[in-house]
Amino acid sequence: MALLVQKYGGTSVGSIERIEIVAKKVKAARDAGDDIVVVVSAMSGETNRLVGLASEITDNPAPRELDVLLSTGEQVTIALLSMALEKLGCPARSYTGSQVHILTDSAHNKARIKDIDGARMHEDLQLGRVVVVAGFQGVDEHGNITTLGRGGSDTTAVALAAALNADECQIYTDVDGVYTTDPRLVPKARKLERITFEEMLEMASLGSKVLQIRSVEFAGKYAVPLRVLSSFEPGEGTLITLEEEGMEQAVISGIAFNRDEAKLTILGVPDQPGVASKILGPIANANIEVDMIIQNIAEDATTDFTFTVHRNDYDRAMYVLNETAEELGAREVAGDNKIIKISLVGVGMRSHAGIASTMFKALADEGINIRMISTSEIKVSVVVDEKYLELGVRALHEAFELDKKPAA
Amino acid sequence: MALLVQKYGGTSVGSIERIEIVAKKVKAARDAGDDIVVVVSAMSGETNRLVGLASEITDNPAPRELDVLLSTGEQVTIALLSMALEKLGCPARSYTGSQVHILTDSAHNKARIKDIDGARMHEDLQLGRVVVVAGFQGVDEHGNITTLGRGGSDTTAVALAAALNADECQIYTDVDGVYTTDPRLVPKARKLERITFEEMLEMASLGSKVLQIRSVEFAGKYAVPLRVLSSFEPGEGTLITLEEEGMEQAVISGIAFNRDEAKLTILGVPDQPGVASKILGPIANANIEVDMIIQNIAEDATTDFTFTVHRNDYDRAMYVLNETAEELGAREVAGDNKIIKISLVGVGMRSHAGIASTMFKALADEGINIRMISTSEIKVSVVVDEKYLELGVRALHEAFELDKKPAA
């Protein structure tokens, strides 16, 4: 008998009909002998409706009150799902974040979970009840209602799984697992049976938006096995776990990409200690997030410095960088907002040489010019012109034979 | 500086526009120097929407889960009103019933308030904040969310006023006060400046549905001055208080009536001890509420027994009574479901003789036949044919000169 935490998102509970389908799935899992804790989001559309009400009053609602408002969305779902379960003869108890003491800090609208008291839930489980918990919300030490920010229900599920020492945290979504790359781009993309937390983090942060990054970090930190699977279709989904000895492991797990990149370069900066922070400090102060950073030393004791930002921040970043260039006496500033990033991700890279050169050759064979390169332990990223996105991803998927299941 | 508890019902907060009007009224009261605690209901229509969602799942939702569901209605309103207040520069804090420890028993859907912890609210008031509390809801000793049943927000307001030792509890509604009788029936009906708790109870239970009966009982018990006034029109409304020495007091305060009466009579029952309970026991067992009860001794050692019920219960009551008549060997059963009840209400009756005879004469002068009479310390009720409702009420309003303000 296992203890499973199952999380169903807004689309999965988007109507009474769908809530009843979820109830049947939950009951089936319980009838199979497992203890079940369910975490649910607000019914799809409900959070937007509530935000709409607030915005009729003000563009700047008091953050504390916005949390009081938004937390009702999940509260409605937990009550309805519990009713649906009881109707099926499956005893159930609903709990708000506050009721099971999901203690958070006081950062309203983006609170972080500090602690969870599992006692009451364990009690219910022992009495044979399904426990239904509102995702996305908690309570601070003063008893104020907090929310974890949008998508935070995944984090609630993982945190509950960790606190209850669950055997698995199952995230039900509208996709049936994690793929080697986006199947809309590469029809031969293959669903992965397993992937490590680290790989998932690289995949997620690069645009495969299956799971909230924070929830994956959390799951990795507490070693909670995480499974992504479909609310609507049968299947085992993808299991996200720690890297295991002897685990069937491909060298490359997948290819992630990011469409919304832009790059900026400052050329001919007199090279001196601290120049990087002088360039990036003002960018950070303007609240612009920087992704890749590359610095080359030129021969004339000046340096060239390139970084990428989100395409939406390009104009602002360019303005800031021009001011910095003047101050530092740089030669010129250049930029390009028609670029994209493609990344190979895989823990197998650690023990396999030659991944990068295979990657560069595959791209070169298609005549794709690489504009930037950045590497980490389990990832190689390249920046190329945006017109090469599909061609590049498909070429790499083919070159690394990702459509084929790796040999054990 | 006074401490006021103000309660706004569902119609008063039925749209964002109306919530902003309420915010302005609350701010004005606070700017006038008073401390304000506001109790709000769910936006009109919201509770029905939530009940509708539940009824799509089941006709018998788990009572505990129904409370979790319904309590979100008021939670939305407290958040929106607090946002509207803060937008006006008026600091505010919202609280669910659970957050200010409105402790109730565990009778879900119809819980009763046992205790309230005023500490946190006093703290906020001292910091200059308006405190906004969700009506209709509380929490039991196990931390489960409870609701007080429909209309329970009035009770919340009174209970808060008692717990906080407030100077006045103001109930804002869609009427501007308590009238001598229904102004739609008698255009000359006069708004009362004051009325006692006892009179208000008699008026309310007889159909002048301005306030929840329970809230008036509660206010009387804790001697909380209660004021009924309009959310939409200016005016002082009607103050409901304890009877005071030297208080300007009419003999009769008002005329209440009830359209939905039906009467049943069992004739020629052999008179013996316990006959009343043998007749009414089965009626009570059928969950039918009985209002007036009259018993006459006939000369042949049998008795006639008459009682009234709500018109909706007439057919069921008649069925039950016929069975009882057979068992008891009664002569016959009769009934009439085209009757109504008119009641004179006034604490002044206690010290004034002749009220009943003036009443009966006024009705006789209009040719109205009285079918039943029942009296209490502060009330005289008569049952008449339903066609005499308007005529009877107007005749009595005239006879007791209720359109004129009584002399001090």
Q: Looking at chain B, which residue has its C-alpha nearest residue A73?
A: B72
Q: Is the pLDDT of residue A351 over 80?
A: no
pLDDT of res. A356? 86
CA-wise closest residue to B336 among B383, B278, B295: B383
Instruction: Say yes or no for a CB contact (<8 Å) between A83 and B65.
Output: yes
Cα of B166 to nearest chain A Cα, Å: 24
Test the B interface: residue of A49, A83, A90 with most B CBs within 10 Å: A83
| pLDDT tens digits for range B326-358 | 999 999 999 999 999 999 998 888 777 788 888
The confidence score (pLDDT) of residue B8 equals 96
Q: Which amino acid is at A64?
A: R
Cβ within 8 Å, pair B99-A143 = yes
Say if residue B295's pLDDT is above 90. no
Q: Is residue A58 less than 8 Å (CB to CB) from chain B?
A: yes
pLDDT (mean) for B313-325:
95
Q: For chain A, say whether B62 makes contact (Cβ under 8 Å).
A: yes
pLDDT above 60: residue A285: yes
The reply to whether residue A80 touches residue B19, judged by beta carbons under 8 angstroms, is no
Q: Kindly state whether A20 is in contact with chain B, defined as any CB-CB distance less than 8 angstroms.
A: yes
pLDDT above 80 for B204: no
Mutation choice for A interface testing from B83, B99, B123 by most A CBs within 10 A: B83
Is the pLDDT confidence value at A207 over 60?
A: no
With the CA atoms of A367, A371, A373 and A379 taken in that order, what torsion angle do they form, in degrees rounded to the nearest 10? -60
- A157 Cα to chain B: minimum distance (Å): 20
In chain B, which residues have their Cβ closer than 8 Å to the Cβ of A68? 75, 78-79, 82, 94, 96
Contact B58 A20 (CB under 8 A): no
Which residues on B lie below 8 Å from A72 (Cβ)?
72, 75-76, 79
Comparing A300 with A333, which gets the higher pLDDT? A333
pLDDT at A345: 92
- Across the interface, of B16, B79, B94, the residue whose CB is closest to A56 is B16
In this complex, do B72 and A69 lie within 8 Å of one another by their Cβ atoms? no
Q: Is B100 on the interface with A (CB under 8 A)?
A: no
Q: Which residue of chain A has the CA closest to B52?
A: A16
- Tens-digit pLDDT profile for residues B125-150: 999 999 999 999 999 999 999 999 65
> What band does B249 get if pLDDT is binned at 50, 70 and 90?
low
Would you give the DSSP letter of residue A264? E
Question: CA–CA separation, B346 vs B323, rounded Å?
Answer: 40
Distance of CA A307 to the CA centre of its chain: 23
* C-alpha span between B143 and A375 (Å, rounded): 52
Say yes or no for a CB contact (<8 Å) between B76 and A84.
no
Cβ contact B83–A58 (<8 Å):
yes
For residue range B115-130, what is the model confidence (pLDDT) as tens digits? 999 999 999 999 999 9
pLDDT for residue B247 is more than 60: no
Of the ranges A64-73, A200-209, A237-246, the best mean pLDDT one: A64-73
Nearest Cβ partner of B54 from A80, A144, A145? Answer: A80
Give the tokens for residue B408.
Answer: 């001090």
Tokens of A224: 């909670």
CA–centroid distance for B228 within its chain: 12
Q: Which residue of B has its CA nearest to A49?
A: B76
What average pLDDT score do residues B208-214 get? 73
Residue of B395, B343, B398 lying closest to B368 (CA atoms): B395
End-to-end CA distance of chain B: 29
Q: What is the mean pLDDT of residues A73-77?
A: 98
Average pLDDT of the residues in B34-53: 96
Interface contact flag, A54 B80, Cβ < 8 Å: yes
Max mean pLDDT range (A73-77, A232-236, A330-334): A73-77
Q: Do B56 and A16 touch (CB under 8 A)?
A: yes
Contact state of B72 with A72 under an 8 Å Cβ cutoff: yes
Average pLDDT over residues A56-76: 97
For residues B253-281, give the mean pLDDT: 89
pLDDT digits (tens, 9 = 90+) for A124-172: 999 999 999 999 999 999 999 999 965 589 999 999 999 999 999 999 9
State how far the Cα of A231 lies from the Cα of A210, in Å rounded to an integer.
Answer: 13
The CATH fold assigned to B3-173 is Carbamate kinase (3.40.1160)
Tell me which residue of A78, A96, A95, A97 sits closest to A138, measured CA to CA. Answer: A97
Q: Does B75 touch chain A (CB under 8 A)?
A: yes
Question: Which part of chain A has CATH 3.40.1160.10?
Answer: 3-173
Across A292-303, average pLDDT: 80
A57 touches chain B (CB under 8 A): yes
A50–B143 CB contact, under 8 Å: no
The total number of residues shown for chain A amounts to: 408
Q: DSSP states of A99-127 as a string?
A: TTTEEE-S-TTS--EEEE--HHHHHHHHT
Q: Give the pTM.
A: 0.82
The predicted structure's pLDDT at residue A69? 98
Contacts of B130 (CB under 8 A, 6+ apart): B26, B27, B30, B36, B37, B38, B82, B85, B90, B91, B92, B93
Confidence category of residue A44, pLDDT binned at 50, 70, 90: very high
- Does A292 reach chain B within 8 Å, measured CB to CB? no
ipTM over the 0.85 cut-off: no
Q: Is B39 on the interface with A (CB under 8 A)?
A: no
**Closest chain A CA to residue B94:** A65
Question: Does residue A221 carry a pLDDT above 70?
Answer: yes
Per the CB < 8 Å rule, is A68 touching B78? Answer: yes
| CB-closest option in B62, B69, B86 to A62 | B86
Q: Give the mean pLDDT of B27-38.
A: 96
β partners of residue B166: none
Q: Which residues of B touch A79 (CB under 8 A)?
A: 54, 65-66, 68-69, 72
User: With an 8 Å Cβ cutoff, are A99 and B143 in contact?
Assistant: yes
- The percentage of chain B sitting over the pLDDT mark of 70, rounded to a whole number, equals 96
Adjacent-strand bridge partners of A36: A4
**So what's the pLDDT on residue A254?**
92
Task: Name which residue leads in pLDDT, B151 or A66.
Answer: A66
Amino acid at B133: V
- Measured between CA atoms, the residue of chain B closest to residue A58 is B87
Q: How far apart are CA B108 and CA B174, in angstroms?
A: 28
Give the minimum alpha-carbon distance from B71 to chain A in angstroms, rounded to a whole number.
9
- Cβ B53–A76 below 8 Å, yes or no? yes
Residues of B in contact with A61 (CB under 8 A): 83, 86
- State chain A's mean pLDDT as an integer: 91
In B, which residues are within 8 Å of A50 by CB distance? 76
DSSP code, position B30: H
Name every chain A residue with its beta carbon within 8 A of the beta carbon of B98. 98
On the question of pLDDT at A206 being above 90, the answer is no
Looking at residue A246, its pLDDT comes to: 56
CB contact under 8 A, B79 and A65: yes
- Beta-carbon separation of A66 and B72 below 8 A: no
Q: Is A221 exposed, middle or buried (0-12, 13-18, 19+ CB in 10 A)?
A: exposed
The residue in chain A having the minimum alpha-carbon distance to the alpha carbon of residue B70 is A76
Statement: residue B246 has pLDDT above 60: no
Average pLDDT, chain B: 91
Instruction: Tell me which chain B residues have a C-beta less than 8 angstroms from the C-beta of A84.
Output: 57-58
The reply to whether residue B66 touches residue A83, judged by beta carbons under 8 angstroms, is yes
- For B23-62, list the strands marked E by DSSP: 35-40
B19 neighbourhood in chain A, CB within 8 Å: 57
- Residues of chain B found within 8 Å of residue A56, distances taken between Cβ atoms: 16
Mean pLDDT of A87-91: 97
Interface of A with B in 133-152 (CB under 8 A): 143-145
A71 at B interface, C-beta within 8 A = yes
By C-alpha distance, the chain A residue nearest B96 is A68
Q: Give the residues across from A40 on adjacent strands.
A: A8, A134
Query: B146: which 2 tokens?
Result: 């409870």
Q: What count of other Cβ atoms lies within 10 Å of the Cβ of residue B108? A: 20
Assign a CATH topology to domain A255-399: VC0802-like (3.30.2130)
- pLDDT of A117 higher than 70: yes
pLDDT of residue A249: 62
B86 at the A interface (CB within 8 A)? yes
Closest CA–CA distance from residue A108 to any residue of chain B (Å): 14
Backbone φ/ψ region at A148: left (φ over 0), alpha (ψ -120 to 50), beta: alpha
Residues of A in contact with B96 (CB under 8 A): 68, 145
A89 in contact with B at a CB cutoff of 8 Å? no
| Six token digits for residue B74 | 């008021």
Portion of chain A with pLDDT greater than 70, in percent? 96
pLDDT at B368: 93
Looking at chain B, the domain(s) classified CATH 3.30.2130.10 span 255-399
Token readout for A278 is: 């002088």
